[in-house]
Chain A
Amino acid sequence: MLRIGIPSALFYYVYYPLWKTYFDELGTQVITSGKTTRKLMDNGVREALADACVPVKVFFGHTMAISDQVDYLFIPRIVCLNKKTVYCPKFLGLPDMIRHGIPGMPPIIDVRVDARERKDSILSAYYQVGKMLGKTSAQIIKALLKAQIKQFKFQRLLCGGLQPLEAIDNIFNGKHNKPPDNQGQLKFAVVGYPYIIHDQYISVAIINKLRKMRINVVTPDNLSPLTVRIQRHASPKRLFWTFSERTLRATRYFAGRNDIDGIIHLSAFGCGPDSIVDRFIQLDNYSSTIPFMSLTVDEHSGEAGVSTRLEAFVDMVKRKRRDIT
Chain B
Amino acid sequence: MRKVTFPHMGESYRTFKMLLNDLGNEVILPPRPSRKTLNMGVQYTPEFACFPLKILMGTYLEAIEKGANILVTSGGVGPCRAGLYADLHKKILHDLGYPIEMIIFEPPRLYPISFIRNVYKLNPGRLSIKAIIGRIKKAWRKLQALDNAEKATHVIRPRELKKGTTTRKYKQVLEWIDSAYNTNDIIEAEAAALEELHKVPQDPNRLVIKVGIVGEIYVLLEPAANLEIEETLGNLGVEVERSIFLTGWTRDNTWKETVEGTTVKDAAKHYLPELIGGHGRDSIGNTILYSKRGFDGVIQLAPFTCIPEIVARTILPAVSRDYNIPVLTFFLDEQTGKAGMNTRLEAFADLMKRKKLKKQDKSKLWLPSGAL
Query: B-contacting residues of A (Cβ < 8 Å)?
Result: 48-49, 51-52, 77, 79, 86-90, 92-93, 96-97, 100-101, 112, 235-237, 239-241, 269-276, 278-280, 283
B134 → chain A, closest Cβ, in Å? 32
With contacts A79-B274, A272-B48, A283-B91 taken as known, whether A89 is within 8 angstroms of B314 at the C-beta atoms is: no
Q: B312 — which chain A residues lie within 8 A by C-beta? A: 93
A278 to B318: give the CA distance in the assembly, Å.
Answer: 35
Give B66-88 as 1s and 0s: 1 = Cβ < 8 Å from A's Cβ atoms: 00000000010111110110011
Inter-subunit contact A90/B87 (CB<8 Å): no
Inter-subunit contact A51/B305 (CB<8 Å): yes
Give B87-128 as 1s and 0s: 1 = Cβ < 8 Å from A's Cβ atoms: 110011001000000000000000000000000000000000
Give which listed residue, B87, B304, B307, contacts A237 with CB less than 8 A.
Answer: B87
Inter-subunit contact B313/A270 (CB<8 Å): no
A158 to B280: give the CA distance in the assembly, Å.
Answer: 36
Inter-subunit contact B310/A276 (CB<8 Å): no
Q: Give 9 pairs: A residue, B residue, CB < 8 Å, sorted on A.
A: A77-B274, A89-B278, A96-B274, A96-B315, A100-B318, A101-B317, A237-B83, A240-B78, A271-B48
B348 within 8 A of A: no
A90 to B274: give the CA distance in the assembly, Å.
Answer: 11
Inter-subunit contact B50/A90 (CB<8 Å): no
Q: B139 — which chain A residues lie within 8 A by C-beta? A: none
Inter-subunit contact B47/A275 (CB<8 Å): yes
Give which listed residue, B84, B315, B319, contacts A240 with CB less than 8 A.
Answer: B84
With contacts A88-B307, A280-B88 taken as known, whether A112 is within 8 angstroms of B314 at the C-beta atoms is: no
B158 → chain A, closest Cβ, in Å? 30
Q: A241 — which chain B residues lie within 8 A by C-beta? A: 78-79
Inter-subunit contact A275/B92 (CB<8 Å): no
A275 to B81: give the CA distance in the assembly, Å.
Answer: 10
Give which listed residue, A92, A96, A240, A278, contacts B271 with CB less than 8 A.
Answer: A96
A124 to B327: give the CA distance in the assembly, Å.
Answer: 39
Inter-subunit contact A240/B274 (CB<8 Å): no
Q: A280 — which chain B residues lie within 8 A by C-beta? A: 88, 91
Inter-subunit contact A270/B305 (CB<8 Å): yes
A196 → chain B, closest Cβ, in Å? 14
Total A-B Cβ pairs within 8 A: 118
A294 → chain B, closest Cβ, in Å? 10
A96 to B274: give the CA distance in the assembly, Å.
Answer: 9
Inter-subunit contact B315/A273 (CB<8 Å): no
B277 within 8 A of A: yes
**A-B pairs, 10 with minimum CB distance:** A240-B78, A100-B318, A93-B311, A275-B48, A89-B276, A272-B307, A275-B46, A275-B49, A101-B314, A89-B307
Give B321-337 as 1s and 0s: 1 = Cβ < 8 Å from A's Cβ atoms: 00000000001000000
A271 to B48: give the CA distance in the assembly, Å.
Answer: 8
B265 → chain A, closest Cβ, in Å? 14
Query: Which residue of A has the minimal Cβ distance to B318?
Result: A100
B273-292 contacts to A, CB under 8 A, are 273-278, 280
Q: B29 — which chain A residues lie within 8 A by C-beta? A: none
Inter-subunit contact B80/A49 (CB<8 Å): no
A220 → chain B, closest Cβ, in Å? 20
With contacts A275-B47, A283-B95 taken as known, whether A89 is within 8 angstroms of B87 at the C-beta atoms is: no
With contacts A236-B87, A273-B81, A283-B92 taken as known, whether A100 is within 8 angstroms of B314 at the C-beta atoms is: yes
Inter-subunit contact B313/A240 (CB<8 Å): no
Inter-subunit contact A92/B315 (CB<8 Å): no
Q: B80 — which chain A residues lie within 8 A by C-beta? A: 89
Inter-subunit contact A278/B46 (CB<8 Å): yes
Give which listed residue, A48, A88, A89, A240, contacts B280 with CB less than 8 A.
Answer: A89
Inter-subunit contact B311/A86 (CB<8 Å): no
Give B17-49 as 1s and 0s: 1 = Cβ < 8 Å from A's Cβ atoms: 000000000000000000000000000011111
Q: A274 — which chain B residues lie within 8 A by C-beta? A: 48
Query: Which residue of A has the minimal Cβ distance to B306?
Result: A272
A85 to B273: give the CA distance in the assembly, Å.
Answer: 19
Q: A93 — which chain B residues lie within 8 A by C-beta? A: 272, 274, 276, 280, 308, 311-312, 314-315
